Chains A and B, each alone.
Chain A
């Protein structure tokens, strides 16, 4: 805990500076919105290469108070990498190591065993009648490792030795390398041991036991021993790689190479192909070159991101050790969900570290949730998600309401959809009637009323005419209460669903955009810098759609009051802007994109402003403590 305290002290100065800065901004210009996508861009600019970016403190809401003066109890967080967690964990292990005077890896295993609960582990250790037995029970051999662990790998020529996994053994002419842990001496050939560890790593298991099974050996491999095998494996792979290279070199004669080049007459363009440049343009060399530069500039962004990802991926998977640490780090995050959260976005490995709140009232996430605030955070790759419930961003809907809504949708939506599409009320007694085939002449079982399924009119009017051309009027006043509440739910659910569908459709735009913009660059020689706004607009649009989507779930639960009207007005304004931008995307010709850039930007910024106003209005509704209390009681939010 002392470590945490130091944290807070360290950053308290920083945060106050940041805070006052933001407040000034707010006071100076009410309308100046801190543009969400702009801040994202800023993050990116600052991101790679800048070591300070990881310690930058970020906030869950763009203002500490709404324009109505309501505190937003912002959550403070940082974006970190899993490597940073490793460093922190290493410190923990060292601390334990100093106390227990055991080898590093053994302390690590103990901590893993107790899910990093240091106190419990030490307690158990100190109270154990016999330390040796205690350690053994946890799969640890007490005796200290020798200086040189590389001797754990031995080269054998004895024909009586057999690897218990592949059933292969050495001969005098073909020696084999075997590995055994320091504590148990159960030998398996290095290839099998490495494969075994890789498999265990892949399945994310830590504290890997010796594979020996008769009787089961419960000794756990330490990081030191892993390291021996990991390094051995690296060496072997390098050797293998080198051999393969050499073989390839030997295989090709000069003539073969010449032939290859002749066959591939476009070999000059090999490099271009990598960059996806199409060669069949009749442009002059100059424009081609310019194009190539633009292409490079455009791709720079994506390429850099991709390379970074690949690098991380490689680093993580390259060695047994790095993958093992990766597993430990991600497990640690899942254990300490209060402090760390993995980005829930698919294929995203970023971690968000919780630092604190800029509020005197809120002490933890649960309290924040009870105030119906939403701790929205953004990972390094700009994915927005909720720190409280690990769902994708769901503002303005508080976490608890999201839960309620989801349960409701699960319970009701299927049935309701079915009822809505397959049944109608009897026009006389309002009992639900399903039409299961046959003609349109219905007879209600409860009141024996004869009516037409299409127009719900009296069947007598249809007696001699089986075609119904009557216009279907809206059902009026007499709707039963159940139907009414169903309709209310259906109304919000349909809107919610519509936004979801629109969101998905707009998302497709983003994908088409990639191609469009590439075409644009090739055709008109527009540089990447000039067209990046397009992507920003799409992202902003998608986020606003999410807000709108959740606003319907939110409104379903809000009782009729003045606040609700205000929210609805703000929502209406937001959805206007969203539709406007969405339409612009649909209508715009590729060639006109740059010409319309100011239009895009104007609509986007007014949309973002509308979004902020809308979110603030939603927060403001709970400014009145009674409203909050009523709301919490009404929906039984704990």
Chain B
């Protein structure tokens, strides 16, 4: 592995020594820029009791460019599409180099608690979310039980 910026080393160290409750991020041994992430569904949301698997990659120009994050576990959410891509401002325009892996993962967890169907990525899910809210929540719960084990 070519030299890793100090910043990434420090962040990784802190993620391991001082983990955020409900979130674990482990770097791959052969590529320290690639992380396996496990995220607990926040309580009070339809994703409660689910454990979601994500992948996170720090591009070459990190922290100037945002990390790339994707859900690997199937999830029913208006801002996450079938491929697990996430529509979240801090992952795009509102990224700031002062943000960290930790804060980004917390933002994603927050997105699970409060979906934003007005700015959807998965249109059908968003429609259902707005027009048939109870059923959408029900589906999200079922998917969580089925896939996020």
Contact = CB atoms under 8 A, between A and B. Distances in A.
A166 B96 contact: no
B130 interface: no
A166 B4 CA distance: 12
A42 interface: no
Contact of A199 (B5, B61, B98, B99): B61
Contacts of B135: none
Contacts of B99: 213
Contact of A166 (B5, B61, B103): B5
B124 interface: no
A216 B107 CA distance: 13
Given A166-B7, A188-B98, 10 more contacts: A164-B98, A165-B63, A166-B5, A167-B11, A196-B97, A199-B64, A211-B97, A213-B98, A213-B99, A214-B98
Contacts of B94: 216
Given A196-B64, A199-B61, A213-B103, A165 B11 contact: no
Pick from B7, B65, B94, B97 the residue with the most CB of A within 10 Å: B97
A409 interface: no
Contacts of B149: none
Nearest to B10: A167
Interface string A182-193: 000000100010
13 contacts: A164-B98, A165-B97, A166-B7, A167-B6, A167-B7, A167-B10, A195-B64, A196-B64, A209-B96, A213-B99, A213-B103, A216-B94, A216-B96
Interface string B1-42: 000011100110000000000000000000000000000000
B88 to A, nearest CB: 14
Contacts of B63: 165-166
A196 B98 CA distance: 10
A211 B98 CA distance: 6
A290 B97 CA distance: 59
B102 to A, nearest CB: 10
Interface string B52-84: 000000000101110000000000000000000
A48 B103 CA distance: 53
- Interface size for chain B: under 10, 10 to 19, 20 to 34, or 35 or more residues? 10 to 19
Nearest to B95: A213
Interface in B94-120: 94, 96-99, 103
Contacts of B103: 213-214
Contacts of A167: 6-7, 10-11
Interface in A160-183: 164-168
Nearest 8 CB-CB pairings of A with B = A213-B98, A167-B7, A164-B98, A165-B97, A167-B10, A213-B96, A213-B99, A211-B96
B56 to A, nearest CB: 17
A212 interface: yes
A165 B61 contact: no
A165 B6 contact: no
Nearest to B94: A216
B123 to A, nearest CB: 24
A336 B65 CA distance: 31
Contacts of A166: 5-7, 63
B25 to A, nearest CB: 17
A195 B98 CA distance: 13
A168 B97 CA distance: 14
A180 to B, nearest CB: 12
A444 to B, nearest CB: 43
A212 B61 contact: no
Interface string A46-67: 0000000000000000000000
A302 to B, nearest CB: 35
Nearest to A162: B10
A195 B65 CA distance: 11
A212 B10 contact: no
A167 B4 CA distance: 13
Interface string A538-549: 000000000000
A192 B96 contact: no
Contacts of B6: 166-168
Contacts of A164: 97-98
B104 to A, nearest CB: 10
Nearest to A200: B64
Contacts of B96: 209, 211-213, 216
A95 to B, nearest CB: 31
A131 B63 CA distance: 35
A196 B61 CA distance: 11
Nearest to A205: B93
A214 B98 CA distance: 8
A161 to B, nearest CB: 14
Contacts of B65: 199
Given A166-B5, A213-B103, A214-B103, A192 B97 contact: yes
Interface string A31-49: 0000000000000000000
A473 B117 CA distance: 63
B134 to A, nearest CB: 34
A164 B7 CA distance: 9
B98 A165 contact: yes
A164 B10 CA distance: 11
Nearest to A186: B98
A196 B7 CA distance: 15
A196 B97 CA distance: 8
Nearest to B65: A199
A505 B64 CA distance: 44
Nearest to B9: A167
Contacts of A214: 98, 103
B98 to A, nearest CB: 4
Contacts of A216: 94, 96
A212 B97 CA distance: 8
Contacts of A199: 61, 64-65
A165 B63 CA distance: 7
A214 B94 CA distance: 13
Interface string A214-238: 1010000000000000000000000
A331 to B, nearest CB: 16
A212 B98 contact: yes
A42 B91 CA distance: 52
Contacts of A195: 64
A213 B89 CA distance: 13
